[in-house]
A and B are shown apart, each in its own frame.
Chain A
Amino acid sequence: MAGKTLYDKLWEAHVVREEPDGSTLLYIDRHLVHEVTSPQAFEGLRLAGRKPWRGDSVLAVPDHNVPTADRDKGIADPVSRTQVETLESNVTSLGLKFFPMADVRQGIVHVIGPEQGATLPGMTVVCGDSHTSTHGALGALAFGIGTSEVEHVLATQCLWQKKTKAMQIRVEGELRPGVTAKDVVLAIIGRIGTAGGTGYAIEFAGSAIRSLSIEGRMSVCNMSIEAGARAGMVAVDEKTIEYVRNKPQAPTGEMFERAAEHWRTLVSDPDAEFDAVVEMDAAEIAPQVSWGTSPEMVAPIDGRVPDPAAESDPVRAEGMQRALEYMDLKANTPMTEIRPDKVFIGSCTNSRIEDLRAAAEVVKGRKKADNIKLAMVVPGSGLVKQQAEQEGLDRIFLDAGFEWREPGCSMCLAMNADRLEPGERCASTSNRNFEGRQGQGGRTHLVSPSLAAAAAVAGHFIEPSALKEA
């Protein structure tokens, strides 16, 4: 018999009940909640007269709608305010754990889960949010759910699921200097496409993935959904265990050692069989910039905007043409000639301390280019912000003419006041470049933090190593 994949192990450890047709009642250990996808679930619960099954499994935080400036003035938009207030009243009336906007621990739900040790290796983690896959970087089974499922988990601590197929994406070899976790995942999506992982749980493996920090692995797992997969994960190693140690909600002392012993088993067996395997050579991955309106539309920084005329599949060619029109780009333009109007460094993909350090390293001693109307840095949580300020990163950004904001989703999806105006072009460290994602008519180029920082300094896309001496 073949060995087990990491996905098999996580799945089997959470089966409450299995029906003959394979429908499985799966137990959920951690339920993260934010203000956008939860109000209808709490209302449903109330209308049915039900109570949360295990309230201590919940961690709730407002992140999508919160302002990133002038917080003391509250939320100006009354509709956003109502949503945040609704979350607060729902969770406080049920006694659920909650970090309000003024709490230093508040931040993007996928940044604060690992930061608090609320998400641990071996757990099943859900949230009404497709980027829940982020937590898979810790060796957890983490996936996004809809609002009906949020209500179901609140009421029963379980979900009906069918086991999906397992895919291994193996990136072997050494990454070139200047190539980051974000470039790896964008290159993967460019290779397999936005539906390449549909119907699979993806395990990211190989020496290049192992060489990434836990935060880097989070950036990779974060974008599993952009490859179509609900869940992405990385096997546990000593880095995982050291990352989790001393986190506020993690076990301590002897219990920690016992847990760690179990966590070390959370790897795919050497003889495990996957339903699909994708292999990539780390050395071939260049820093990536997206040029279109789907995350698979990426090009290397030293490449050019592709030409739809050279595409043989007519449906694809039409999609490319439509994207180029929306993005106001001409085929064959060198990526380095594209000039953004704004730069956004933030989002659950790239707003952790290492991301901010990487951006600050590029910005240090330099100034924002004149054509960049706004360069903003939005830390992923209040604690990330605090840490960055202790390291003086805020000064580096402010001295270069960047804005230094309060934590939240911000211009990743522009539900708060931070957004692109129609036609504006943005270098963004977020995960989606869909039409209108960062503001109606806005044009998004997905990049890593260091590339975003370099674009802010040069006024166009450029490899940081090619910048003039600071």
Chain B
Amino acid sequence: MQAFTVHKGIVAPLDRSNVDTDAIIPKQYLKSVKRTGFGPNAFDDWRYLDPGEPGMDGSQRRPNPDFVLNQAPFDQATILLARKNFGCGSSREHAVWALTDFGFRAVIAPSFADIFFSNSCKNGLLPVVLAEDEVQNLFEQVEANPGAQVEVNLEEMTVTAPDGTVFGFTLDEDRRHRLLNGLDDIALTLQFADDIRAFEERQRREWPWMAL
């Protein structure tokens, strides 16, 4: 996993709440058996005026000029700003892969859906929870000054707005540690293989029907 320490970049304001994972990556693209290549179809239904299918040539499609990610400088954004309950709906990790493949490194919102939050942390995409008024403040700054850069610092757990205001956020220590170091979860867990085996032995003794 790509480590996350400090990142500074352009913020794309996506002024919607309850952005669901069907919207982030529509189902026709879930047929891929790969982890990459989802970026051109991130937010496909909102981003293009013509219906998209896997394998289409992006340059031949009609972009929706009203959609924020089609507008300069937001097409170069690496931080996404949205309203509450971001990433709700289906568990598809493809939604996270679509955002990272587009180039996003962090998403800032007042709240996230649980599965999306967990999926993001496992792919080096930092979900940053700020208070609603702080998110509102960022929306205002970014809209007043498109292209202004925001810094997200996981070491300090701060977001620095374009006007220099610093907002603090939190992330549990375990996730923070893994993200800062880009650690492989499975290798870490396998250090506890003996504990897992001991658990299995106990379960087989007490509740033998569980592993029939």
Contacts and interface: CB of A to CB of B under 8 A. Distances in A.
A16 B91 contact: no
A160 B210 contact: no
Given A40-B34, A435-B45, A440-B51, A123 B210 contact: yes
Contacts of B208: 255
Given A120-B210, A148-B122, A434 B20 contact: yes
A50 B88 CA distance: 32
Given A16-B196, A435-B22, A435-B45, A160 B189 contact: yes
B18 interface: yes
A156 B27 contact: no
B23 interface: yes
A228 B88 contact: yes
B115 A156 contact: no
A50 B185 CA distance: 13
A336 interface: no
A397 interface: no
A86 interface: yes
Interface string A230-262: 100000000000000000011100011011001
B14 to A, nearest CB: 14
B133 to A, nearest CB: 13
B39 to A, nearest CB: 16
A146 interface: yes
A229 B113 CA distance: 9
Interface centre among B89, B91, B113, B192 (most CB of A within 10 A): B91
B196 A315 contact: no
B91 to A, nearest CB: 4
Interface residues of B, number: 57
Nearest to B207: A262
A155 B189 CA distance: 9
Contact of B185 (A144, A148, A194, A230): A148
Interface string B168-179: 000011100000
A469 interface: no
Contacts of B23: 434-436
B89 A432 contact: yes
Interface string A426-452: 000000101111001100000000000
Nearest to A85: B33
B31 interface: yes
Contacts of A155: 186, 189-190
